[in-house]
Amino acid sequence: MDSLLYVPGRGILYRLDPRTKLLWVLSVSIYALIEQSTAVLLLILLALHLLIWPTPTVRARFGSLYRTLAPLLSLLLVLGCLRWQAADALIAVGPVGVTLPAIWRALGLAARIAALTLTLSLFLWSTTPGDAIAGLTRLGIPFTLSLAAVMAMQQIVIFKMLFVQILEAQQSRGLVIDRRNPLRVARAYIPVIVPLLINAFRQADELALALQMRGLGARRTRSSRRRLHMTARDWLFISATGAVLCLLACS
């Protein structure tokens, strides 16, 4: 969950205007969604890695991102490789076989999911929530919506910390989670989920109060300490992204 948060670092993504990055996320994501070629999807994934590879703080997060994605990617790869009564099966167990085109398609599907996740992650890792809000607001999204979206991301991390604290408190009272029986697991988690919800409601109240105490909505127009400027670097990056995507689409 921590991998949703901004991490300080240096590199091309850190020097771009948040609006450029938002445009980049949008275009790469749309392209990754519609592209059918496995080779192109793997190429996009490789390019995303190369883009941020020189930034050690971000590179250090790849491991935890792929660990989180591992169950989903494994499932996609395993299920995607299987074909029913395939004549050209490389390996077959009864009517189920694994074919080379199926492996290739499964790889494409996994690459698509990884590319989409990584694109969004790169934006979140390289953009402070303040910059993200400023960028979204300058693109015409109302401030309260931008604030809510960005704060929701942060709250996920805070709730994860809270969950761990509550779980530890209940374990100290003898809670042992028997993972062999799903019903027992669900029941064992009640003493964790209930305080989590109570605390969540309390925190939501405190947050609302904090926002009011800081004058949210006091003036019709809200200013920002951030001065956003599209520089030549931003325009160059947008042009390069557009050109590469057009080239890939035409190839």
Partner 1 sequence: MSAIQVENLHVAYPAPLPHLSQIDALKGIDLCVQAGECVALLGAVGAGKTTLCLALSGAIPQAVDCTMKGRVTVGGQDTRATPMAELALTVGLVPENAAAYLFTATVADEVAFGLESLGLDADEIERRVAETLTDLGLDGLDNRAPQTLSGGEQKRLAMACAMAMRPAILLLDEPTAGLDPRGRRQIMAIINRLRREYGMTVLMASQDIEAVVQLADRAVMLHDGCVAFDGPLGALLAQPSILLKRGLDIPQLAELATELSRHSGQTFTFYRPDEAARALAGHAERPADVAAPPPSDDSRTPLIVLDNVTYCYPEATRPALCGINFQIARGDWLAIIGINGSGKSTLIRHLNGLLKPGSGTVWVNGMDTRQHSVGQLARVVSYLPQNPDRQIFAARVYDEVAYGPRQLGLRGTELDERVHTALAMLDLIAYAEHPPAVLSYALRRRVVLAATLAMASPVLALDEPDVGLDRWLSEQMMDLIAQRHRQGTTVVMITHDLRMVARYAQRVIVMYEGQLVAQGTPATILADVDMLHRVDLDELPVTALARRLGLSAPLPVSVADLAARLVGIGTEGGDG
- Interface residue list for partner 1 (CB under 8 A): 5-6, 8, 128-130, 151, 154, 158, 165-166, 168-176, 190-192, 194-195, 198-199, 202-203, 206-219, 221-227
Q: How far is the CB of 107 from partner 1 (least distance, A)?
A: 32
Q: How far is the CB of 146 from partner 1 (least distance, A)?
A: 13
Q: How far is the CB of 12 from partner 1 (least distance, A)?
A: 20
Q: How far is the CB of 231 from partner 1 (least distance, A)?
A: 17
Q: Cα(44)–Cα(66) distance, rounded to whole angstroms? A: 16
Comparing CB distances to partner 1, the nearer of 188 and 244 is 188
Backbone angles phi, psi at 95, to 5 degrees: -80, -10
Q: How far is the CB of 93 from partner 1 (least distance, A)?
A: 39
Comparing CB distances to partner 1, the nearer of 45 and 166 is 166
Comparing CB distances to partner 1, the nearer of 93 and 219 is 219
Give the position of tokens 């996994």.
110
Find all residues with CB under 8 Å of 5, minimum gap 6, and list them: 124, 125, 153, 154, 157
Find all residues with CB under 8 Å of 185, minimum gap 6, and list them: 177, 178, 179
Comparing CB distances to partner 1, the nearer of 69 and 129 is 129
The per-residue DSSP string of 144-198 comes to HHHHHHHHHHHHHHHHHHHHHHHHHHHHTTT----TT-HHHHHHHTHHHHHHHHH
Closest CA to 129 of 111, 108, 146: 146
Q: How far apart, in Å, do the first and last CA atoms of the chain sit?
A: 38
Comparing CB distances to partner 1, the nearer of 84 and 201 is 201
Comparing CB distances to partner 1, the nearer of 2 and 88 is 2
Answer positive or negative: Cα dihedral of 131, 137, 141, 145. positive
Q: How far is the CB of 163 from partner 1 (least distance, A)?
A: 11
Comparing CB distances to partner 1, the nearer of 88 and 205 is 205
Q: How far is the CB of 70 from partner 1 (least distance, A)?
A: 18
Q: Cα(26)–Cα(43) distance, rounded to whole angstroms? A: 18
Find all residues with CB under 8 Å of 178, minimum gap 6, and list them: 184, 185, 188
Task: Classify 53 as helix, strand or coil.
Answer: coil
